[in-house]
Amino acid sequence: MTPILELSEVTKSFGAVTVADAQSWSLAPGEALGVLGPNGAGKTSMFNLVTGTLSADGGTIRYDGHDITNWSAARRCRAGIARSFQVPQPFSGMTVFENTLVAATQGANLSGAQADALCLEVLDRTGLLGRANTLAGGLTLLDRKRLELARALCARPKVLLLDEIAGGLTENECKSLIETIKQIRETGVSIVWIEHVVHALLAVVDRLIVIDFGKLIAQGAPDEIMQSQEVREIYLGIEGDA
C-alpha cells in the first residue's frame, strides 16, 4: 500500500545540534503510529518538519503522492495535515467555538452552516461544547489540550499529528481521550502520536517508532519495540508506570 506520509532521509540541524538525522519512516493510510523518545530527542521538531513550520535541510517529505518538502505550513494543512501542539497555542482572544471555526474555514475550506455544524459536532465529541463561548485564554490546561485536538479535527485532516496530548490528564480523562482517538481512527484518519503516557499510546497505535538525538533508532510492532533493550534503557523508570 502506498504510504500517505513518507519521510526519506530528512535532516535538520541548528548549528551543532541535529534535531533530525537522516530520518526515514512512513505512515500507511488509516494507520496509527506511536512515537517514543526521551525529552529533547527531536520528536516535536519532526512534527514541525512534517507540518512545515520548520524547513528541512535535506531529504524529502511526501504526502498523498506529492513531494511537499517545499510547501508552506498553510498549504500542508489545507491538503490534510493537521496537528496539536505540545504547549497549547490557542487564539486567546477568541472563543473556543471561534478557535475551531478558524480551522474549519481555513484548513477544511468550509463556510457558513457547514463550518458551524462541523465545529459544534467536534466540540461535542471532545467535551468542549459547554465551553463554546469561553475565551480560549481563560481555559484550564486540560481544556486547552482538548481545544488543540478539537481545532486539529476541524481542519478535517487525513493525517493527524498529536503531540503529548495525554500529558497531565487523570486516569479517567486519559481513558476518555483514548476512546476519542479510537473513534477518530475509525473515520479513516491516519494518526502519528508522540506520547510519554505509554499505556495510552499502546492502547491505540499499530506500530511504534523510537527517536533519540534526532535519529530513528527503532521501529516495529509495539510489543517488539517495548521489549527492545535500547528502548527499555531510554524509558527506564517510565516503563514500570506504563
Partner 1 sequence: MSSQMSKSLYVTRVSRASSVAMVVGALIALTLIAAPWWAGRAEMRLMAEIFLYISLASLWNLLAGYAGLVSVGQQAYVGLGGYALFGLTMLGGVPPVPAIAVTGVLGALIAMPVALLIFRLRGAYFAIGTWVVAEVFRLTAAQISALGGGSGTSLSPAIIKSLADGRDAREALTYWLALGLCLVVIGAVVVFLRSRAGLALTAIRDNELASKSLGINIWRTKFFVYVITGGLTALTGALISLQKIRISPDAAFSTNDWTAFVIFIVVIGGIGTIEGPIIGTLIFFALRQTLADLGTIYLIILGALAIGIMLRAPKGLWGLVRERFGIELFPLSRRVRGQDD
Binding of residue 219 to partner 1 (CB under 8 A) = no
Residue recorded with cell 465529541: 125
Q: Are 14 and 40 in contact (CB under 8 A)?
A: no
SS (H, E, C) 50-107: HHCCCCCCEEEEEECCEECCCCCHHHHHHHCEEECCCCCCCCCCCEHHHHHHHHHHHH
Find the shortest distance in angstroms from Cβ 71 to partner 1: 12
Q: Which is nearer to partner 1, 49 or 197 (CB)?
A: 49
* Per-residue x/- track, 124-163, partner 1 (CB under 8 A): xx---xx-xx-----------------x---x--------
Q: Within the chain, how many helices (H) and strands (E) appear?
A: 9, 10
Report the site for partner 1 in 52-71 (rule: CB under 8 A).
52-53
* Per-residue x/- track, 33-52, partner 1 (CB under 8 A): ------------------xx
Q: Are 86 and 194 in contact (CB under 8 A)?
A: yes
Q: Are 133 and 95 in contact (CB under 8 A)?
A: yes
Interface region with partner 1, contact rule CB under 8 A, candidates 11-19, 60-68, 90-98, 177-185: 90-98
The residues binding partner 1 (CB under 8 A) are: 51-53, 72-74, 77-78, 82-83, 85, 89-95, 97-98, 101-103, 105-109, 111, 116-117, 120-121, 123-125, 129-130, 132-133, 151, 155
